[in-house]
Amino acid sequence: MGQEILRDLTFRIEPQSFQFLTGPSGAGKTSLLKMLFLSLKPTRGLITLFGQDTSTLNGDGLAALRRRIGIVFQDFRLLDHMTTYENVTLPFRIMGREEDTYRREVIELLQWVGLGHRMWALPPVLSGGEKQRAAIARAVIAQPHLLLADEPTGNVDPSLGRRLLHLFMELNKSGTSIVIATHDIALMDQFDARRLVLHDGRLHLYD
């Protein structure tokens, strides 16, 4: 067995709650996020998501849970052969929804995150900040019950960072639980929210 990255973690993310997940580099923030979006299984312990023990679910059950979670990856993970618009529509596409039922919604969101003029652009020609916003738009478009964001403001200027934080706050008000993993103290200071601080593999909660 390899090195134990996280241990003795017990916490609960309440419905409609907002929290920052922070801690020094290498503290295990990304690993914890990966466990929350079911990409990593804990070697021991239990993860219950939306009332379901994740260890008992099959592939389809896990996929159904993932559809209730929005994820913003640190490295964006946009598909290079699709336009910004198409990347953002992906969560609807995999649900089998008709484009006419969500086109307006996607366009509005892209306008709102400042990508209205980049809807036809392919990710390789987007700047880091634009990619970041496209990744956030894709994560929030289907109004997930839980949003997990790994350094979502890492590539944008403070003004846009504030705007994105407002987007998360709006989403939170509409019922989504938010977990933002970040190093950005300034960002955390802008919003009085619960802080989950990882240090030496353990979690400290500051409500």
Which strands form 202-206's sheet, in the order they lie side by side? Answer: 69-72, 146-150, 177-181, 18-22, 194-199, 202-206
Which pairs with CB-CB distance under 8 Å and at least 24 residues apart come from 159-163? Answer: 160/114, 160/129, 160/133, 161/187, 162/190, 163/113, 163/114
For another protein, which residue of 16, 111, 127, 174 counts as binding (CB under 8 A)? Answer: 111
Q: Using the minimum distance from each CB to another protein, give the nearer residue, 190 or 202.
A: 190
For another protein, which residue of 11, 63, 158, 185 counts as binding (CB under 8 A)? Answer: 63
3-state secondary structure of 183: coil
Tokens 């846009």, residue?
Answer: 160
Name the minimum Å distance from CB 110 to another protein: 8
User: Is residue 64 near another protein by the rule CB under 8 A?
Assistant: yes
Q: How many angstroms separate the CA atoms of 152 and 160, rounded?
A: 11
Question: Of 42-50, 72-80, 125-133, 194-202, which part binds another protein (CB under 8 A)?
Answer: 72-80
Q: What residues from 31 to 50 belong to the interface with another protein (CB under 8 A)?
A: 37, 39
User: Is residue 83 near another protein by the rule CB under 8 A?
Assistant: yes
Name the minimum Å distance from CB 2 to another protein: 17
- Kindly state the helix (H) or strand (E) to which residue 119 belongs, with its residue range: none
Name the minimum Å distance from CB 73 to another protein: 8
User: Is residue 67 near another protein by the rule CB under 8 A?
Assistant: yes
Name the minimum Å distance from CB 126 to another protein: 15
The 5-34 site mask, x for binding another protein (CB under 8 A), equals ------------------------------
Q: Using the minimum distance from each CB to another protein, give the nearer residue, 20 or 92.
A: 92
User: Is residue 116 near another protein by the rule CB under 8 A?
Assistant: yes
Torsion angle, CA of 49/55/57/59, rounded to 10 degrees?
A: 110
**Residues in contact with another protein by the rule CB under 8 A:** 37, 39, 59-60, 63-69, 71, 73, 77-83, 85-86, 89-91, 93-94, 99, 103-104, 107-108, 111-112, 116, 119-120, 138, 166, 170
